[in-house]
C-alpha cells in the first residue's frame, strides 16, 4: 500500500519549519522513525529527488520519515542569510521531538553532506533518544567545505570578469560581511561556525553509524581521507559500517541535471534493517 505524505509547518520560537512527513500505510507495521537533515544551499536543491525517493521507500517499509527544511532554507521561514549553526541544531532537536511524539519506536538521524556533520553534532545532545546515524557523503571538515564552496563562487566570478579569490572572500567574511553563493547569502557567523567543525571532534561513543560514500569509478574504495576519519571515530568508540557505492554525485553544485543513485537507497535499506529489524 502507498505511504501517506503530509506537508506541514512545525512551529518553533520566532520561526516556522517546513516539513514533509512520509508515514507508512496503516496496514504496514511501524518499525521506527528517521529524520532527514539536508545538505547546504544548492546541494539541498540538487538532492531533493533522492531524499524524496528514499523517504517514500522507507515509509513503504514501515518507517516514518520527516524531511525537514532548516531555518532559512527551502520553504521554512527566514532567509538563508539569517541561518545559524546553533539554530539548525535546535531545529534538529525539534524535529526529533515531533517524531517521538507522533510515532513509536527508535529514531535515526539521516544527514547528507553538511547535514551529516550537523547530525553527528546533534547526536551528542540527543544521545539518549537516537538509535543510529545514516551519513551520506559526510563533510569531514567544515573549514575545507567552506573553501570548496568559496572556490565555486570564485570560479563563477572569473566567468564574469571579476577578480575574486578564496582568500579575499574569507577576508570579507572575517570582517563581518556576507558572501553571495549563487543566490545563497552566507553570513559571517555561519562561516565561522563552519571553520570550527570537524567530524573527528564529534565522536559519540557507542553510537552506531552507517557511512555511505558515492564513488565515480566502479569498484573504487572509500577515499583515504574518509577511511582515516572512520578509524578515528571507531577508536573513539563509535560503531561504523561503511560502504562505497558507484554512482553520480547527485548533490553536486555544478550538475546540470538532477540525477539519482539507486544503489545508495538499497545499501541504506540494508543498514536500517540491521538497526531496526527487517519488515
Band of the pLDDT at 254, cuts 50, 70, 90? confident
CA distance 96 to 87: 14
CA distance 57 to 60: 5
Angle between helices 85-102 and 188-195 (to 10 degrees): 80
pLDDT computed for residue 28 by the predictor: 85
Name, of 38-47, 101-110, 257-266, the range with top average pLDDT: 38-47
Task: State the chain's mean pLDDT as an integer.
Answer: 93
- Counting beta carbons within 10 angstroms of the beta carbon of residue 65, is it exposed (0 to 12), middle (13 to 18) or buried (19 or more)? buried
The secondary structure element, H or E, covering residue 65 is: strand 63-68
- Residue-wise pLDDT tens digits, 50-92: 999 999 999 999 999 999 999 999 999 999 999 999 999 999 9
CA distance 188 to 170: 9
Contact 88, 95 (CB under 8 A): no
Q: Which domains does the chain have, with CATH numbers?
A: 4-141+203-276 (3.40.50.1820), 142-196 (no CATH)
CA distance 181 to 178: 10
Count CA within 13 A, CB hemisphere, residue 124: 12
Burial profile 117-146: b = 16 or more Cβ within 10 angstroms, e = fewer: bbbbbbbeebeeebbbbbbbbbbbbbeebb
Amino acid at each position: 500500500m502507498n505511504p501517506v505524505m503530509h506537508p506541514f509547518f512545525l512551529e518553533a520560537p520566532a520561526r516556522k519549519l517546513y516539513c514533509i512527513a512520509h508515514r507508512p500505510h496503516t496496514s504496514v507495521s511501524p518499525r521506527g522513525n528517521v529524520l532527514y537533515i539536508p545538505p547546504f544551499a544548492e546541494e539541498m536543491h540538487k538532492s531533493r529527488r533522492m531524499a524524496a525517493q528514499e523517504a517514500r521507500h522507507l515509509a513503504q517499509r514501515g518507517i516514518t520519515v520527516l524531511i525537514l527544511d532548516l531555518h532559512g532554507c527551502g520553504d521554512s521561514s527566514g532567509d538563508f542569510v539569517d541561518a545559524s549553526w546553533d539554530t539548525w541544531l535546535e531545529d534538529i532537536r525539534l524535529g526529533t521531538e515531533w517524531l517521538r511524539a507522533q510515532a513509536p519506536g527508535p529514531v535515526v538521524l539521516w544527514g547528507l553532506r553538511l547535514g551529516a556533520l550537523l547530525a553527528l553534532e546533534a547526536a551528542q545532545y540527543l544521545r539518549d533518544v537516537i538509535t543510529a546515524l545514516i551519513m551520506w557523503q559526510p563533510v569531514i571538515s567544515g573549514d575545507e567545505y567552506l573553501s570548496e564552496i568559496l572556490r565555486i563562487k570564485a570560479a563563477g566570478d572569473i566567468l564574469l570578469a571579476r577578480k575574486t579569490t578564496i582568500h579575499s572572500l574569507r577576508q570579507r567574511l572575517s570582517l563581518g560581511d556576507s558572501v553571495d553563493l549563487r543566490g545563497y547569502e552566507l553570513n559571517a557567523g555561519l562561516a565561522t561556525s563552519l571553520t570550527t567543525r570537524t567530524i573527528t571532534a564529534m565522536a559519540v561513543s557507542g553510537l552506531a553509524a552507517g557511512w555511505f560514500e558515492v564513488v565515480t569509478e566502479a569498484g573504487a574504495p572509500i577515499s583515504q581521507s574518509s577511511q582515516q576519519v572512520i578509524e578515528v571515530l571507531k577508536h573513539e568508540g563509535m560503531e561504523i559500517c561503511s560502504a562505497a557505492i558507484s554512482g553520480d554525485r547527485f548533490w553536486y553544485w555544478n550538475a546540470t541535471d538532477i540525477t539519482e543513485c539507486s544503489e545508495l537507497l538499497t545499501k541504506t535499506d540494508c543498514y536500517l534493517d540491521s538497526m531496526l529489524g527487517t519488515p
